[in-house]
Structure formats: C-alpha cells, structure tokens
Chain A
Amino acid sequence: MPTATETYSLGLQVEIGKIDTELKKLWQQSEGAMTRASLINLAVYSEVPGSLAQNTQLIAELTQNHACRAIVIGADPTAKENRVEAWISAHCHVGHAGSKQICSEQLSFLLEGPCTSLLPNIVFSQLDSDLPFYLWWQGALHDPMDPQLWAWVDRFIYDSRDWDDFDAQMRLVETAQEEARQRIVLCDLNWTRLDKIRLAVAQFFDHPASHHHFAEIESAQIYFAPGFRSTALLLAGWLAAQLGWRAEKATGSERLQFANSQGGKVDIALTERAGEAVDEIVLSSDGVEFAVRHAACGDLLEVSRGKPNETRLPQLMPALGNDPVQLMSQELLRGGPHRVYLRAANYLRHSS
C-alpha cells in the first residue's frame, strides 16, 4: 500500500443513472486547465471492508503513470439489505511533458446485498468505449463465476498469493473463460513479483558460452519471506518449465527434486526467512554460483556469479517491491500473453 497517509475522497456522490451527465459537468468545469487521459478501463473489485478508500488511494498513485478510467467497486455480498451508491472523482497530476494537468477519472461503487450480482450490468454500462478492459479482482473468486462478466474482460488481474487453493481458483477461471468463450490474458501479480528476479537470473545465461550450464545446474536455493511460499514455488516452477526439468518428488515441503533432460538430479531448497518476497536465489552449476539477492537498500538486486569463496564483482539491477502500486504498474507495462506464466503456474497447481 502507498506509504502516504493522506485520505482520498471518493468525490461527488451521484445517482448511477446520471454518472455520464455528472462526468461531463466535471470536465466542463475544468476545461482548458486539464486534459482527460485514458488508455484502459481498469475495474478493481474487492470485498474487503474499507477497500473503496484504500483502492482510491492506490488508483491515485497508479494513474500518475497509467492513464485510465478507473471503476472501483467495494462489495459486500453477505449484507442482507440492498445498497448501491456511486461517486465520481478525478485524479490529476502534472505530466512530465508540460504544465497541464493530466487527469484520469474514477467511478466508485458500493454494492451491498443481493444486488452485488448486478456487478456486470453496472460495470459494463460505465466502460469507456473501444478501450481494453482490465479487471483486477482482489481476493478469492466465488463459485460459480458469472460468465457474463468475463465476456468483456481483456486482462484478468489477481494475486494468487491471496488464494488458499490455487488449483481450485484456476479451475474457476478456466471454467468462466470457457463459458464466456473469451481469450482472457491471466495476469497474476504473484508472477509479476518475480519479474525483476527472473530477468536477473536470465541474463546470466544470455551468452551462448553460458548455455552449457542449463544442463549442469545441480541445485538451487530460494529464500522467501513468510507468506510468500507460493511466490517461491512459482519461481521454481518457472525454472523447471523453461529448462525442461521433470518433477520427481518433494522431500518434505522445503525440498523439491527434479530430473533434467539428461536425467541429472536437480535439488531445489526453499527456505523461509525475513526479507523481501523472494529475497535470494542461488543456482549452482559446475562449481559456479549464480546469485541474485536483494541489496541492503531493498529496491535493488545484487547480481553476481563466481566460484564459492571467490571475490565477485556484483552488478546492481532494479528490484520490484511488494507494494501493490509498483506491482500493478509493472503489470500494466507488460502486455502480451503470459504463456510462460501458465507453464510455471501449471507446476504450482500440481504442488500446492
């Protein structure tokens, strides 16, 4: 969550049927001084009490780099009475190119009671036409998922770290995808968390002279923070999937064993310790260690290779924190299908 403790207003309360009219008024008032910008429709759905305020703060930060029409939904399906409220607001900042304010609009909805099932109806009528629709679902998915909702989603964003049963949740997503006959790109923020670490690991092997190490990796140690075991497993799944390792057996929950394509053994040790989500990974191959660890400052990765006890020349690379704004920002920058994720996730599904 953002470090600032400012409070963010939901803006002007409006009748749902008059949102368009009220938005027009909002922009007319500020004509000349502000530019409305939008590249995507970003809907954020949460059932956590107080999420509207928290997500408003998050959108305020996110829109500094990603202009969008934000649709923030706070829902409580367990409430007995129906309640639907809506607000409109704008997040403005001065663009890097000039002095004009660049603004993204936010529509906020509070849905309580049985009317939460009207979510697709409410969301669809507020989409900015022709722009892609990203749905960020915070928390666990419900069975059954409404296929009507999925029919319009281009990218579905979630954080599998929040899920207790990864396989069951993924099955729900797949079923909904099939019913909606829609090719949705699945974007797991738990996977995004690994972006910079994966990049740091991958770059060791860019030069063809390093490729022999792929067949010679005999072990990996992954250190992860409490609560991030699934992140560490995704990292292990990625290595296994990309390097063609076959899962053999797990020796307890902290040791995984694989066989590489030549039948050689690869051991992966998962160790929990205080630090960043995935704090460190060390691959050992043919007496050489490839190490990526978070530097003391936290937002940089220290990357080095060498023989144990040898003096190394570490390189610094950017790291990605666990802040949702950073994670979302990184995810929105990516685009394209996440095929590699699906392969790594497949591994996680069968081991979670």
Chain B
Amino acid sequence: MNRAADHPQTNPLREGLSTRAVPQPCVVVIFGATGDLTHRKLVPALYNLAADGELPPALAVVGFARRPKTNEEFRRELEEATRKFSRQPVRDEIWNTFAQSIFYHQSEFADLEGYQTLALSLQKIDKERGTRGNRLFYLAVAPDQFEPILKNLKSVGLNHAPEGSWARVIVEKPFGTDLASARALNRIVNNSFSEEQTYRIDHFLGKETAQNILVLRFANAIFEPLWNTRYIDHLQITAAETLGVEGRAGYYEGSGALRDMVQNHLLQLLCLIGMEPPTDLGADSIRHEKVKVVRSLRHIVGPDVAANVVRGQYDAGAINGKTVVGYREEKNVDPKSMTETFVALRINVDNWRWADVPVYLRVGKRLPKSGTEMSVHFKKAPPVLFNKESVALDQNVLVVRIQPDEGISLRMQAKIPGTSLRIEPVKMDFHYGTSFGKASPEAYERLLLDAMSGDATLFARRDEVEEAWAFIDPIEEAWHAIKNVPPLYLYPAGSWGPEEADALLARDGRTWRRL
C-alpha cells in the first residue's frame, strides 16, 4: 500500500518494475525458531519469496532458540517443513541457495551472553553477505518471553541500528489478554523499540481480499455514495470454522473466541469496511482512519452484555458426517470450562457515517462450514411499485469473501422470465480463483516483505490494539463477574451456534446470512 516507505524511487532502474516499496537487504532473526510458526509459515513464506525473486539481494535468516543444533541440522529441519508447507513445490536449486543464508543461534532467551554472541554473528553476516546492518527481529514466541528477549536485545544495543540502517521488531498476536496486559506488553516492546520500529502482525490483513476492501471502496466510485447510514441497513462479519480446538487447548482455554478472533481479526476487518477515506495510502494515514472506527465503537457494558453478546461452546455433534466430541471433552480442556468457542455480537459504531447501522459479528468453532466474509446489507427499496407488501423483496447484499474462495458478490433483484411479474434475487459473483489463474501469495509472504520494506500499513498500531481491548474488556468483565453472569450456551458441533445468536438478529427483524 505504502509506496513511499523506504527510499522511494531513488533507484531509476526500478522505474516501471515495482509498484510496491522495495524490501531492503537485512537479517531476519526469528526467536522461537524451532516452533510451529517458523516451520509452517515463516520459513515457507521466505522460501516462496525467494522462489518468486521478491527477496532483497542480500538476506540472511538467523534462527534463535534454546535447543542445541548445528546450522546443517536446522537447515535440514526447515527444508523438510518447507517441502511440506510451502504453497509452491520446493526446487532443489533454489532451496540450496536459500539455505546457505540460514543460520542457527542457540541460546536461552534470558541469557545475555547469547545476545552478545548474536550481535557478533550479525556483524559477521553483514560483512560476508552485505545485509548492511538492517535487522528484522521476529518474536515467534509466547508473550511471556517478550520481556527477556527485548530487554536483552536492548542491553546489547541491537534495538538500534547504525546510521542509514534499521532495526524492526515483528510481534505476533496475542497482543495481551486485556487492556492492562496489552498496555504492559506495549510498554515492554516500546521500552526497547519505538512504535515506528514495531510491527504487530495480524495475518488476516495480509490476505488478498482484505487488502481489496480498500480498493473496492475507494477505487470504485459507485459504492462510496451508498456507504453510509442512509443506504445501508446493517453489516455482518462472520468467521466460521469447522475445526475444533485442535491441540491449542492450552492457549484457547485462557483466551476464548472473543479474545482470539474478535479483538484482532474481526475488528480489523470492521475497520477496513467502516473507515473514512484516508488522505493518502501512507501507513499512518490508513491507520489513523482505522483507529477512529475502533474509537467510535459503543462499549457494551454491564447488563447490555447479555442483551448484545451471545457466547456459546460446542457440544458433541458431527462435522461433515463424522461425530466429534464437545469442547469440554477435548484434551487439556477443563471439563467444567466456561471458555466460549462461539461469540455473536451486536455492535454500534457511533459516528456520522454509521449511526443506526448495527454491525453483527459472529465467530465460532465447529460450525458446519469454514469461511470468513463480510456482508453489507443495503436498505430495501421503498414499499411501493415492485416492493409492495405482497411481493416483499430481499435486500441488496454486497459480500466480500475473505476465505476460502476469495471474491465479491452482489445480490440484486431480477424478474423471472414469464408473463407474470415474479421477482427473485440473483447473484453477480466474482471469484478470484476463476478470474485470476495465479494463486494469491500467503499472507505471511506479503507481511514479511512489507516489514522488510518499512511499510506498516497492514500491521496494527499500538492505539488500534489498545482501543480494541478497551472495547473487549467490559464484555469479558461481565462474563467473569460474580453476579448476573450472562449464560454460556451450548451448541451442537456442526450447527450454526446457539439459537440465541439467531435471536440476537431476529429481534431486530434480521437474520444471519447463510454462508
């Protein structure tokens, strides 16, 4: 998005070749290098960038982890993982060249000496490989490890780069578990790295269709005049998955759907669909507008929580014809767990554009179908002519599908051929997969490249994160109160959540869109 990131247009040979900021030579230091994220996402993403020729000319990857391992062992492990998880087949020639730039650094996260030797290794890599003192630190670790890592990076001066170079840190979610912990975490991060150096990753924003929301809204003049309370009845955002907790029970028990999905992914999507046009495509111009949306959310407090938020937990049921256990029967889950695996919310955005336009968010595990989408439900045509009581036309609905089968569809009314006047909804449907043969890059590819280029547009800013927690906290507080606790409804796996979620819309005369 931000073409004016690092060193814009100073290389005349780049003219006409790139429409994005150019990634700079750097060393990517991954903390938690032996973990799942590194193996499944980060290194396959870096390999794909290398295979597509997108990486900067000089790039090195240093894996920082506790287990003793040689460079060769580390490279072999990563090769195996990349062959398994890469979106494109691994070519030996490319992997072998790429692997030469991968190194392993063994140290405890809390061991200062490990960082002193890391600093020396990075200097050596700079000299040998031309990475020019640029550092991208990726914290692929649990948040409780942030503090020792960041403190030690600061102690050895790796939080600052020499003149003309840069040091940046990428932080993985969760960004805290509430406002207080998010602030504490942000303080920890900002004690070592300034906000400009900090990149909070939300992989939803790296998805092609999420980026396309701004294009849809601001590159097509037909939508913007309609994009307001005068023409829009309500908005819906749904993130459904058929999967259960899948070995993440340890994390999920302390998190739940609201913290895991709504605080970050769904509110980020709401920002994109609800924001005002930015003054330019600069990272902060876009993020200024996004944060205004979160700031405008009417907080749901006390008794309003029960009226506007429905939480649920999956019980035993069936997915795709196979029986599955309930959440409380999952491994490592408390048999009396009150953790929500489903949440539906009715939200109000108190600003001029969205006044009286409710936003319904829904996220859940073990739902019948996986899919993430946003839908804009326009007001019905006036109840005259074709829209008289006896005909009752449907609304026009614009749907942006984020995953899978990314695309956009528009529902409208059409006359059924024949001598009588029968009107039915029809759908104009655009599928990325049908129209463009080329598969979209993985979100992590885009985001890693953006961080190397200094383009923070698709990363969450501190105030966005904290404002989102400020909205989420009162709901969590109501759920964890001693008295008048809103109920946790059980729903059978394979259903669309508790009936109360349907009632949330039904009382407004609306229904959830069928995915």
Q: Give me the interface of A with B, judged by CB distance under 8 Å.
A: 35, 37, 39, 64-67, 95-98, 100, 102, 195-196, 198-209, 211, 214, 239, 242-244, 295, 297, 300-301, 303, 305, 313-318, 333, 336, 338-341
The reply to whether B12 and A243 contact each other, CB–CB distance below 8 Å, is: yes
Identify which of A37, A64, A239, A340 contacts B434 (C-beta below 8 A).
A37
Query: Closest CB-CB distance, A52 to chain B, in whole Å?
Result: 24
Of B52, B164, B434, most buried by chain A (CB within 10 Å of CB) is: B434
Q: Give me the interface of B with A, judged by CB distance under 8 Å.
A: 7, 10-17, 19, 22, 24-25, 50-53, 55-58, 93-94, 97-98, 100-101, 128-130, 132, 164, 404-405, 431-439
Identify which of B11, B22, B439 contacts A211 (C-beta below 8 A).
B11
CA separation between A203 and B100, bound complex, in Å? 20
The reply to whether B97 and A202 contact each other, CB–CB distance below 8 Å, is: no
A96 with B439, Cβ < 8 A, contacts A203-B56, A315-B97, A317-B53 known: yes
CA separation between A153 and B511, bound complex, in Å? 47
The reply to whether B97 and A97 contact each other, CB–CB distance below 8 Å, is: no
A208 with B164, Cβ < 8 A, contacts A201-B13, A242-B12, A243-B12 known: yes
A338 with B16, Cβ < 8 A, contacts A97-B434, A207-B25, A318-B52 known: yes
Contacts of B11 in A (CB 8 A): 202, 205-206, 211
Q: Which residue of A lies closest to B57 (CB)?
A: A203
Identify which of B53, B57, B129 contacts A318 (C-beta below 8 A).
B53
Prevailing SS type, chain B contact patch: loop
Q: Which residue of A lies closest to B12 (CB)?
A: A242
Of A100, A200, A339, A340, most buried by chain B (CB within 10 Å of CB) is: A340
CA separation between A338 and B25, bound complex, in Å? 28
Contacts of B24 in A (CB 8 A): 206-207
CA separation between A156 and B164, bound complex, in Å? 43
CA separation between A202 and B9, bound complex, in Å? 12
Identify which of A100, A200, A214, A297 contacts B93 (C-beta below 8 A).
A297
Contacts of A243 in B (CB 8 A): 12-13
Identify which of A97, A196, A301 contacts B405 (C-beta below 8 A).
A97
Q: Which 9 residue pairs across A and B have the least CB separation, nearest first?
A: A97-B433, A65-B437, A202-B13, A317-B53, A340-B16, A242-B12, A318-B53, A316-B97, A37-B434
Identify which of B7, B16, B19, B57 contacts A204 (C-beta below 8 A).
B57
Contacts of B439 in A (CB 8 A): 96
A316 with B13, Cβ < 8 A, contacts A65-B437, A206-B22 known: no
The reply to whether B97 and A206 contact each other, CB–CB distance below 8 Å, is: no
The reply to whether A198 and B53 contact each other, CB–CB distance below 8 Å, is: no
Contacts of B10 in A (CB 8 A): 208, 211
Query: Closest CB-CB distance, A53 to chain B, in whole Å?
Result: 23
The reply to whether B53 and A242 contact each other, CB–CB distance below 8 Å, is: no
Q: 16 pairs across A/B with beta carbons < 8 Å?
A: A65-B438, A67-B434, A67-B437, A95-B433, A202-B14, A206-B56, A208-B7, A209-B132, A243-B13, A313-B100, A314-B97, A315-B58, A316-B93, A317-B53, A318-B53, A340-B15
